[in-house]
Structure 1
Amino acid sequence: MSGDAVPAAVGEGSTRTRLDRGRGALGPALELVHTGRAPTRAVLTAELGVTRATAGAVAAELEALGLIRVDARPGAAAGSQGRPSHRLEVAEDGPVALAAQVHADGFRAALVGLGGRIVATAPGCETVDADPAKVLGSVVEAGAELLRRTGRRCVGAGVAVPSAVAEPEGTALNPLHLAWPAGAPVREIFAGCVRAAGITGPAFAANDVNLAALAEHRHGAGRGARDLLCVATGHRGVGGALVLDGRLHTGSSGLALEVGHLTVSPEGRPCHCGSRGCLDVEADPLAFLTAVGRDPGPEVSLLQQSNELIRDHYADPTVRTAVQALIDRLGLGLAGLVNILNPDRIILGGLHRTLLDADPERLRAVVADRSLWGRSGSVPILACTLDHNSLVGAAELAWQPVLDDPIAALASV
């Protein structure tokens, strides 16, 4: 045996030992890189509470799995001293999740990589059939075509729907703005379509605003918040979601935060739920277009029509008055939620993001005036920053098993 053989063998064994010790850290390490909280190996080491050598072994294993890239020779920042730490980033050519979203004005499919990065999208469809199986079959077919075209490995699939989704059954209890039957087994149907298309990995379904909140918390305006409230209106209706201690709160059976049915105008419009003046019908795009006297024609989505009116014609007194009315109703609902939930941040999506941009001071003043804690320290109210957050959130469902156990999850797809 040569003199240098023993050190080589010892080094090899030490590497294996470090990796064995760090296998339990693979998931947490991947999540740190996935959410942008560990841009370097030095930060990863500190966040995981392991040795530098163990962090290096963990990063090397994630790179070997094709999930991240390790730049061992990053350029040093101007004025810095010493050798810069290895940079970590998600692999641009790595696996993807199939993400789908269904809403009142159509549906869309996309491929989403780690880091919440949308890799490819299929052209959206603007009609939604009354049969959920036809819609979900079409959106999976579009996603399967994207996978064939890009040649990417798929870890699983997720779909966002505009309804509360009961757990553990995966049924859409109240697809009020679709013609789908109440209680449609969307997860079972979606999973069957995914299998039929030959797509590997698990399939999931969840409420669209819950998924928007999850995506924003990991990759957008909610990053770093501990107790995050998300309220949004897309094409029809109003939804809400809550992230508590970094985890999506869905209640005992997936039905928490049905904020659209808070009453904000007791003598207001009749709501689909049987009540009157709910946020769902008083602060969504249809309510806005009705207030400005516009006929919501089918050629352009309600959300797009509303956003364009506010951005291009805000000086019009009719438009401005309608905006202020919706802001006041939205603020009243948000104040009630602040009193109950005491969040440390509120993020707004869809038309509500546009309302906030139009008159942020008015909305913040209404919330502060109507909430118990508003005068002693107002809650930050921010706009969502991800353009397709429900799609990204649907992908997060499919990525979660990989974040929990990368080796086991990738072995099954």
Structure 2
Amino acid sequence: MDVENRPSELVGMVTNLGREPLTDNEGRLHRYSVSPAGREDSTKFTEELITFIDRLADPVVERGHRVLGCGISVSGHVDQGVVRISYSAGWGGPKAEDAFPLEEQLVSLPFGVALDNDITSLALHQNISGRPRESYAVVAVLPEGVGGGLVIHGGTWRGSQGMAGEIGHITTRIGKRACHRCGKEGCVEAYATPYALLDQAKPLGITDLEELASRPSTEESIVKLFRSGGRALGQGLEPLINWVNPASIYIYLPPSLSMENRFLAGHAYREEVESEIQHSFSTGARTRLFYEVKSGAEMDALGVRAAASLVLGRLIDHVEKQQDPKSLLRRPN
């Protein structure tokens, strides 16, 4: 799901077990605009979500295929199928009774549902897709938020309550600018996101991130915004490096925050990220950074494939729990 303030749009796709889009109409990216009532009422939203999933699955079932499950990813704190809090969607809150048990609400579907955080889903997808036994972090700078996921020794690590790897609301040393989502001062998200950059650029009359990033590096007031954004992200990565010590960090950025041209203002963002992590104790300079530059449309497509990985991940977990490893070495009777 792609959410903004309230769940305004659902994005979905039908894939095969390899998480590749089907070659027919169901394999394209489908979008559904949530009604005003669905944006405000979780029960109505669930009804619309079920309708959207049925629209995707029914044509596939009619052609004789079996739907193994539905993966759903959402931003925010997700713990065992329950949305504890999602600032983007407006669900949940600090109290236990505020939680939204979304996975449980979908039991009427004729197949299983796997729900998780969007960037944890991305980390799982990346893990299944070919980096076994490594330890690394995945961080994504999205339009309004910064998320993270962890893979430890080849396993996706969620922590005791599903919060492992989240860096968006770590407090930085940049200043006391309020985060527009959680309200705290100095969060990574208060400086590092496209929303934060454009919000600070309002006095300049610039409302497009690409335009802002493409201004010449001689415009110091604009360069300063990108430096602060990059420093904030770097300061969010510092404790991640110190506590988890990943071998690598994969950072998903929009093109405007990953500009190679040093004569443009946007170049300062990545430059500051790399400078800031040098302050990490001992290992910062040896932590490998890999940048994955994706447009909004590319992140949408990647996001639904990552959600599909949740289903595959559940299947793998089930097989591993049922399988006695020693039986692989026994001769058949």
Are 2:125 and 2:305, in contact at CA under 8 Å, matched by a contact in 1?
yes
Q: Return the match for 1:238 from 146, 154, 172.
A: 146
User: Which residue of structure 2 aligns with residue 287 of structure 1?
Assistant: 196
**Mapped pair 1:174 → 2:74:** no
Q: TM-score, normalised by structure 2?
A: 0.74
Amino acid at match of 2:71: G
Q: Is the 8 A contact 2:119 2:139 kept in 1?
A: yes
Q: 2:157 aligns with which of 249, 253, 261?
A: 249
Q: Which amino acid aligns with 1:289?
A: L
Aligned with residue 184 of structure 1, among 96, 100, 110: 100
Task: Provide the rounded CA distance (Å) in 2 between the counterparts of 1:209 and 1:401.
Answer: 17
* 2:177 is the alignment partner of 1:269: yes
The CA deviation string for residues 128-183 of structure 1, in whole angstroms up to 9 with x for no partner, is 6022333343233223223333444310012111121123xx22111112233431
Q: Give the conservation status (yes or no) of the 8 Å contact 2:248–2:287.
A: no
Partner of 1:162: 75
Matching residue's letter, 1:395: A
2:40 is matched with: 130
Identify if the C-alpha distance between structure 1 residues 223 and 354 changes in structure 2 by more than 3 Å, giving closer, same or farther: farther
Q: 1:147 aligns with which of 54, 57, 61?
A: 57
Please name the residue that 1:103 is paired with: 3
Q: Which residue of the partner structure matches residue 241 of structure 2?
A: 338
Q: Look up the SS of the partner of 1:322 in the other structure.
A: helix
Q: How far apart, CA to CA, are the structure 1 residues paired with 2:103 and 2:172?
A: 33
Question: Conserved in 2, the CA contact under 8 Å of 1:108 and 1:125?
Answer: no
Distance 2:205 2:76 in 1: 22
The CA deviation at 1:289 is: 0.8
Paired AA for residue 161 in structure 1: V
Q: Does 1:373 align with 2:283?
A: yes
Structure 1 vs Structure 2 CA RMSD: 3.2
Aligned with 2:33: secondary structure?
Answer: coil
TM-aligned CA distance change 1:117 to 1:320, over 3 Å: farther
SS of the aligned residue for 2:150 comes to strand
- Following superposition, the deviation at residue 225 of structure 1 comes to 6.7
Q: Which has the larger radius of gyration?
A: 1
- Counterpart Cα distance in 2 of 1:294 and 1:124: 34
Matches within 5 A, 1:183-202: 183-192=99-108, 195=109, 200-202=110-112
Amino acid paired to 1:191:
V
Partner of 2:231: 328
- In 1, Cα distance between the equivalents of 2:212 and 2:45? 31
Which 4+ stretches in 1 moved above 4 angstroms? 294-297
Contact 2:135 2:153 in 1 (8 A): yes
Change in 2 beyond 3 A, CA 1:154/1:173: same
3-state SS of paired residue (2:91):
coil
The answer on 1:391 being equivalent to 2:293 is no
Whether the 8 Å CA contact 2:136–2:246 is kept in 1: the answer is: yes
Q: How many residues of Structure 1 are paired with residues of Structure 2 in the alignment?
A: 287
Instruction: Give the share of equivalent positions with the same residue, in percent.
Output: 22
1:326-366 CA distance string (max 9 Å, x none): 11211122122112211111111254x75244534443232
Q: Match of 2:329?
A: none
Report the CA distance shift for 1:147/1:224 in structure 2 as closer, same or farther (over 3 A).
same
Structure 1: 5+ residue stretches without partners: 1-100
What is aligned with 1:9? none
Post-superposition offset of 1:293: 1.6
Rounded to whole Å, the distance in 2 between the matches of 1:280 and 1:314 is: 23
Q: Distance in 2 between matches of 1:210 and 1:257?
A: 8
* Whole-angstrom CA distance in 1 between matches of 2:44 and 2:67: 22
Question: Mean Cα displacement is larger for which, 244-253 or 105-114?
Answer: 105-114
Please tell me the residue identity of whatever aligns with 2:290. I
Secondary structure in 2 matching 1:108 = strand
Asked if the contact 1:268–1:282 (Cα under 8 Å) also holds between the matched residues in 2, the reply is no
Contiguous gaps of at least 5 residues in structure 2 = 94-98, 261-266, 323-333
Q: Which residue of 1 aligns with 2:264?
A: none
Cα distance, 1:325 vs structure 2: 2.1
Instruction: Work out the CA distance in 2 between the residues paired with 1:346 and 1:126.
Output: 34
Distance in 2 of aligned mates of 1:162 and 1:315: 34
Q: State how far apart, in whole Å, the 2-side matches of 1:164 and 1:257 are.
A: 11
Task: Return the match for 2:257 from 355, 360, 368.
Answer: 355
Q: 1:251 to 1:370 in 2, by over 3 A?
A: closer
Q: CA deviation at 1:234?
A: 1.9
Partner of 2:20: 117
Q: What does residue 123 of structure 2 align with?
A: 213
1:356 and 1:383 in contact (8 A); partners too: no
* CA shift for structure 1 position 226: 1.0
Aligned to 1:315: 216
